[in-house]
Amino acid sequence: MFAQKALTHIFLFFAQVIWPVWIPTAFLLLEQRAKRRMVQKILVVIGVVIGLYLFYCLLNYNVAAQIELHHITYLQEHPAVFREFGFVLYAIATVVPPFLSQIRRVWILGLAVLVSYIISDFYYEQYLLSVWCYFASIISVTIYAVITHFRTTERRKMIIAKLF
């Protein structure tokens, strides 16, 4: 029982506190254009706000995980008043950054995350958190492809610049 409670808290800490801060911060660090950097900074602030709120909830309200119909459902007792608003902020912080990035084709990552959310919410609403995170872990392979393409493109630019 202790292990389940501890692991539930660890998972929720990463899913609800780290990710909404990490994702917009990662895109901010990659951004070079001033206007886009400003928007990415706003997304980081939104991520920090929702991450801090969810961290507060994680520390102060009961949370539990249980298996239902071959899925994990997370029971979180934080205030219902802020759930919808909090979810909107979470989605803005985690889904929007790739759509605003200067990096070519990274919008594919954003689209994959958005589509996986829609599928998870439509078919697995009660298990949204675990199913969407499952999809996100699979989609993370896309990140590797984008970074590899980005590095290759930058290397080509450096080689061409040295030649001419």
pLDDT band at 163 (very low <50, low <70, confident <90, very high): low
Query: What is the rounded CA–CA span in Å between residue 76 and residue 44?
Result: 24
Give me the mean pLDDT over the 131-149 stretch: 78
Element (DSSP H or E) covering residue 155 = helix 128-163
For residue range 16-50, list pLDDT tens digits in order.
Answer: 999 999 999 999 998 888 898 999 999 999 999 99
Q: What is the pLDDT of residue 42?
A: 96
Angle, in degrees to the nearest 10, between helices 19-30 and 83-95: 30
For 125, how many CA atoms within 13 A lie in the half-sphere containing its CB? 1
C-alpha to C-alpha distance for 70 and 37, rounded to whole angstroms: 42
Contact 71, 124 (CB under 8 A): yes
- For the record, the structure tokens of 135 come out as 């999809």
Per-residue pLDDT at 74: 81
pLDDT digits (tens, 9 = 90+) for 73-122: 888 888 877 777 888 898 899 999 999 988 877 888 889 889 998 898 88
71 φ, ψ (degrees, to nearest 5): -130, 160
DSSP string for residues in 10-47: HHHHIIIIIHHHHHHHHHHHH--SHHHHHHHHHHHHHH
Indicate if the pLDDT at residue 164 is higher than 60.
no
Q: How far is it, in rounded angstroms, from Cα 49 to Cα 7?
A: 24
> What are the sequence ranges of the domains in the chain?
2-163
- Is the pLDDT reported for residue 156 higher than 70? no
